Amino acid sequence: MISRLAVLAVVGICALTTVPVSAADKVLQIPMRVGGPNSLDPIRGSSVYDNRACAQVYETLLQHKYLVRPPELEPLLLSKMPDISEDGRTWTFELKEGVRFHDDACFPGGKGRVVQTDDVFYSLRRLADPEYSYKNWWVLANSGIKGFTQYKESQAKTGKPFDYDAPIAGFRKIDDRRFEIHLEQRVVSFAWSLSMFQLSIVPREAVEHYGDKFNRHPVGTGPFLLKDESDWVSGSKLTFHKNPTYHPCTYPAEHTAEDKENGFDAPAGTPLPIVDRIEFTMFVQDQPMWLKFQAGEIGYTQVPAESFTDAYSKRSKRLKKSMRNKGIVSHALPLLDFIFRGFNMTDETFGGYTEKKIALRKAISLAIDLEEFNDSFYNSINTIYDGPIPPGLGGHPADGVSSVASRGPDLDQARALLAKAGYPDGKGLAPIEYYTNTGGNSKEQSELLRRQLGKIGVEVKVHQAEFAVLMDYIDNSKAQMFGFAWGSDYPDAENNLALFYGPNKSPGSNHFNYQRDEYDRMYEKILSMPSGPARTAIMAKMRDMVLQDVPYIGSMARIRFYLVNPWMKNFKPSELFYNWLKYVDVDDSKRPGA
């Protein structure tokens, strides 16, 4: 899969005062369907919302090519793609010359300095610092960097302040721009990991200067920056300004035939970023976002399910003429999506691997009717499938069906299994403590969950929280049962299977705290295997092992429908990466009332 790296894959809105736009400014107004990011420090981030914000101010060594599909990687902070030894174990990097961090008071004279090799090693070492609760250790935990795990473990035992200068066998500095990373073995996904926002390069001076406030005072190399504290009002707005010292980058020339039809090829060679300011508005509820889009006040919207038939024909899924006449453009984006409701496998009632515990989880799964969820909340557009591997990736079951899945509804079997677990008709079983977020139609979905489980005598107590608070509950294993969606970080099923790898337990990506030694050994094996039937066969076995243990109920994958107002230009939606705002342009002559 890796060859000198052309890597392939596939509440209402708060009242806001709009910042005045000067005649010379290009300002992009866009939505965020939540109260905002939890953190602007990439090492503390985990959600898609953290990603969307951090990707504007920080950069990674590699990035996704904007217009190319299926996905490919290209250099971002590097001058070229890494050189990789024949055995895949030695990666040699060269930083792009002259890239500077944002001008900031943490630097002498307030002038951002040039990015160097030491910044890369420092940024990666932060994953091993217990100060950050190892929240994103999972991103590189399985990369096999020589000595990295030993470094983490030895630092944890010293009882002294974390030593960012202690040697790591796998890090070799050649000079200020060139370095090597040595792996224990070939790791197929390593390049993709280097494009993940948690591995953004940050300056040590800023982290040490701002301490806990670095979370809200980002200093990176990205195309945008925050000017002052007023730019981020939690639950309301987040404003980014063009970085005046951004390193030379231009709009790409590579594109597809469809891109040419959409005019996405025309800006090729334009210096980045194109707009002067980005204004995120937070929408905890979808209706205000939908109304803002219709009024032309935000550039795009993800179409809420309840508004789908306002824009599209339900039968043909074609954009209505009334929308097309306004110059609105539609994009349908199939997501590498894993929508689920998970169990905390360390919970006294629902966790564990005994026959009775598995019977209890199967009973709950068999009482759930995903088709009713799909019809009620997704206009029957979602793909329902078995396992954690979404459509389009190796290891996804044929036709989305696995013979070992406990997919409902089958109320008779659910009742029988509930009795087998020791809770006939739900008697003796305390209400399930179910945690979910406050956005969108989450309340209505929770009510349907409650009604469906009520048919077998199982009660549900729903706890709704802002997304950041919800993830804190889950990361700290305080949620008995929980629901959200996982979008793959890169187009390889290994990324989804990592969600059940024991060492990735909370606060890592294994929110279920699932633990099976046999599963872990198989996961470790596929890390170094090349793509092919043998690797896919192991992935299918892992998929079915998880299905048999039922640490979650699911799965569904969405097709995300985007609508774009005519004044927003160059926008090709993607949910695999989020640094695409630097490519977007605006045409104020096409705004309402212009």
> Among 594, 402, 573, 446, which residue's Cα sits nearest to residue 30?
573
**Number of domains within the chain:** 1
On whether residue 174 sits in a domain, the answer given is no
Q: What's the CA gap between 465 and 471, in Å, rounded?
A: 9
On whether residue 442 sits in a domain, the answer given is yes
Helix (H, G, I), strand (E, B) or coil at 210: helix
The pTM is what? 0.88
On whether residue 534 sits in a domain, the answer given is yes
Q: What's the CA gap between 551 and 405, in Å, rounded?
A: 12
On whether residue 563 sits in a domain, the answer given is no
CB 463 within 8 A of CB 493: no
pLDDT tens column, 435-484: 999 877 899 999 999 999 999 999 999 999 988 889 889 999 999 999 99
Which stretches of the chain score pLDDT less than 50? 1-21
pLDDT of residue 7: 33
On whether residue 49 sits in a domain, the answer given is no
Residue burial 287-299, b: 16+ Cβ < 10 Å; e: rest: ebbbebbbebbbb
Looking at residue 524, which CATH number applies to its domain?
Answer: 3.10.105.10
Q: What's the CA gap between 431 and 317, in Å, rounded?
A: 40
CB 70 within 8 A of CB 9: yes
On whether residue 151 sits in a domain, the answer given is no
Q: What's the CA gap between 407 and 108, in Å, rounded?
A: 61
pLDDT of residue 23: 54
On whether residue 396 sits in a domain, the answer given is yes
On whether residue 530 sits in a domain, the answer given is yes
Domain with 536 in it? 337-557
CB 563 within 8 A of CB 301: yes
